[in-house]
Amino acid sequence: MPSPDPFAHDPHSYVLVSPGYLAGPGDRRSIFNTLDFASGWTKTVAFGTDTYYTSPCQRARVANAVESFYGGWTISYAEDPLGVPDWITTFDRNTPHEIVAAFTKLLVDGLHDNFADYLGGGRHYTGVSPASLTARHRWEPVHGSRPFRMVSPDGHAAYQMRVGWLHEYDELLTPEKSTWRMSAGTDPVYTPSWQAFFSRYTPQHLIAASTAVFTDPARVARALDNVPEGHRPLVSVTRADMAKPDPRAEAALARSAQARAMHTPPPPTAPTTLAVHVGSRRQR
């Protein structure tokens, strides 16, 4: 049950919020840090607001196009760097940053050998699937639904899988047609507060990394005023000084406090940063 009058504190103070999928987007610094310090990746800042990253192999691209329709993070991979992407993942602007960070970290860590370490027989292979993670946390299937859905115990988060034939280019061009979707909100199916889309050939271990965070009931650190107003009756909020020890929550609070104290991020040491005016044939 939500704590009594949890928002009667300093609106800028950091607290622990559960479930994380209703906590709001939070501080994106962890995502930028992963990409800024990824060895060999290049960074381009365009229009003064949009940030684009490219992997050393030129196959993976990550865009944070603030003024685009989704305004969050679009990640694509193309075996042929000049060809049509093999897969595209889109996290909208309101997606909790922990979910995006889990995806980008594994992307950066595994791309050097085309994810061989995370595939069957690899040293990091776990065999964990998004379906097994939702089942582990007792998400329930919605029988007869099309697309097929798993819904969280509180009914405020959904994991969706589209079934049936779909031309692969359709989902590359239109995120709503993607094979997999995560969403959450007061009505996560029809009026979600945030959505994430994964096209058919997105590597399963990357989707599973995001799903593990998505379904994890652990508390996450947020500034009180960052929790969406419409979600406040639905979440449990604990003041940091009243919370029982939780290594993951304490680590999250430490990162949040550090981010709040820093007004500007440190300049990256490895990647090259260019400020140019660029366009894109697809803004998602």
CB within 8 A of 7, min separation 6: which ones? Answer: 224, 227, 232, 237
**126-152 as b/e, with b when 16 or more CB fall inside 10 Å?**
eeeebeebbeebebeeeeeeeeebbbb
**pLDDT value at residue 113:** 87
> Which token pair is 240?
């940091």
Reported pTM: 0.82
Question: Which residues, 6+ apart, have CB-to-CB distance to 8 below 8 Å?
Answer: none
C-alpha 265: how far from its chain's center?
A: 20
| Sheet of strand 180-184, all strands in order from the earlier edge strand to the far edge | 140-141, 148-151, 157-161, 180-184, 194-198, 87-91, 73-77, 60-64, 50-54, 42-46, 273-275
Task: Render pLDDT for 202-229 as a digit per residue (tens, 0 to 9).
Answer: 999 999 999 999 999 999 999 998 999 9
Q: How sure is the predictor about 121, in pLDDT bands with cuts at 50, 70 and 90? A: confident
Tens digits of residue pLDDT in 26-80: 999 999 999 999 999 999 999 889 999 999 999 999 999 998 999 999 999 999 9
Output phi, psi for 171, to 5 deg.
-75, -25
The whole-number pLDDT of residue 272 equals 41
Alpha-carbon torsion, ordered 53, 203, 166, 171, to 10 deg: -20
**In the 8-state DSSP scheme, what is residue 152?**
-
Q: Which of 96, 73, 76, 93 is nearest to 84 (CA)?
A: 76
274 pLDDT exceeds 60? no
- Give the integer Cα–Cα distance in Å for 127 and 119: 8
Among 152, 77, 168, CA closest to 160: 152
Is the pLDDT at 279 greater than 50, yes or no? no
Residue among 192, 20, 170, 38 at smallest CA distance from 98: 20
pLDDT band at 167 (very low <50, low <70, confident <90, very high): confident
Mean pLDDT of the chain: 84
